[in-house]
Amino acid sequence: MDRIDVEPLFDSEYFVDLLSFSTPAVWDDIWSASTAPAYRVNSASLDCCDLMLQQEFRFRKQLPHGLAFKFRLFQNEEKERQDFFYQMELEKKLGRGVSVSLFGEPTYRKEDSDIGFGLAYEPVPAFKASARRTFVDFNFNQRGSTTQRYAAKPATDELALELTPGDGWKATAALMLDHPLRREIPDDARTFSYRRTNLALGLRQDLADRWSRWLSYSYDFEAKGDLYNPASASKTSVTSRRQVHRVAAAVEGALSPRDRLEAGQGFLLRAARSDYANAPDEGLFYRRWEAQPYARWRRELKPWLVSELAGFLAFGEKRQRGANKGGTLYNGLAEAKLGAGADFVFGPSGRIGVYGTFDLDTPGKPWDGGAIRAMFLF
């Protein structure tokens, strides 16, 4: 609700910044392969005032009678989204590969609490399907502390499918639907609306020669709106819609007993528009595409120290035009960055990485931000 149109926040190097600060595939593989309680964090400087912050903690405890307790904390904050939640879950196996779960997020103000139900089916290790429904702010209207209320209550549906047919192959699909909501704010004569759809597809193969390759695609649609009745000079009704397509392909593996290489190619396509009900000439259309090749070379210097040297490129185009006036603004994109850093490894259960990025296309200002990340398996 804080900001409807986020497109002006993204400068020419924003998305390649996110790529350069992303965790290496080696880190992600260790995280995915472990079933132990674990914590990881990745923080990076986006500019003078904003920090990209990603952190996750997960815990699972097997209980008697086919029960399991799970806890997960997840945070992902950058300029486009600021997500933070923690979730407690109780899962019960019913037999024949079927399990059900009850989960939720309790909060101090009961109006902000979530509750949900899940169903999973895993008849064999090579096949798993699940469906979940979350009732967001489920008792907001009954236990609200303000005059605000939902005219259309929020809910999220999640569907997931995982296949591992053999020969190192793994295919995943996930669909998330944030159902349309309408939140009334009478004190401001305001109505906020929101809906979102996210689809993610992945295909990976782990090869016998210690290499892996993968291909992924994601689609994200979001619509938000603020309606003021009556509108005024300081309270303008605005709606925003965006669609984002992402494709990525990469390979990763050992060049030698001490060296590893990760190389990939990403592609981003964004289309968005913002419209103003009482000022139609102020509406804006946005369109942006980027190709993002990259490579990371990692070398084990000591059993407790691993260096990384990486290159990140981005080239494409950024367009903006008015809905009913003015011409189209074209901005070509060409960014080149060098990343360097080191991981301090504390055995198989922990590591801390310190990284920096350098802007190769702006010689007068080479420093382009630092990042610190850590991961611990308990």
Q: Across residues 5-24, what is the average pLDDT? A: 95
pLDDT in tens, 277-295: 877 778 899 999 999 999 9
Q: In this structure, what DSSP letter does residue 187 have?
A: G
Supply the pLDDT for residue 365. 84
Model confidence at 115, pLDDT cuts 50, 70, 90, reads very high
- Integer CA distances (angstroms), 41 to 54, 88, 358, in order: 6, 20, 22
Per the prediction, the chain carries an average pLDDT of: 95
Give the per-residue pLDDT at 351: 97
Confidence of residue 73 (pLDDT cuts 50, 70, 90): very high
Sign of CA dihedral 77, 83, 85, 90: negative
Q: Examine the pLDDT at 300 and tell me if it is beyond 80.
A: yes
The arithmetic mean of pLDDT across residues 58-81, rounded, is 96
SS3 26: helix
pLDDT value, residue 282: 80
Q: How confident is the model at residue 230 (pLDDT cuts 50, 70, 90)?
A: confident
- The full length of the chain comes to 378
pLDDT by residue (tens digit) across 319-328?
999 877 667 8
Q: To 5 degrees, how large is the angle CA 317–CA 199–CA 50?
A: 55
∠ CA 64-116-95, nearest 5°, is 40
pLDDT value for 327: 73
Q: Write down the pLDDT at residue 193.
A: 97
- Confidence (pLDDT) at 14: 96
- The stretch 19-34 carries a mean pLDDT of 96
Query: Average pLDDT of 350-374?
Result: 93
Task: Name all contacts of 215-218 with Cβ < 8 Å and 24+ positions apart.
Answer: 215/247, 215/248, 215/249, 216/246, 216/247, 216/248, 216/249, 217/245, 217/246, 217/247, 217/248, 218/244, 218/245, 218/246
Give the residue-averaged pLDDT of 25-46: 96
* Structure confidence at residue 361 (pLDDT): 87
pLDDT category of residue 298 using cuts at 50, 70 and 90: very high
- How open is the CA angle 184-189-192, to the nearest 5 degrees? 40
Whether the pLDDT of residue 51 is over 90: the answer is yes
Q: Contact at 8 Å (CB) between 264 and 251?
A: yes
If we measure between CA atoms, which residue out of 180, 164, 160, 106 comes closest to residue 138? Answer: 106
pLDDT by residue (tens digit) across 233-269?
Answer: 678 899 999 999 999 999 999 999 999 999 999 999 9
Which range, of 66-80, 133-147, 297-311, 316-330, averages the lowest pLDDT?
316-330
pLDDT at 236: 86
In sign, the C-alpha dihedral spanning 296, 300, 303, 304 is negative
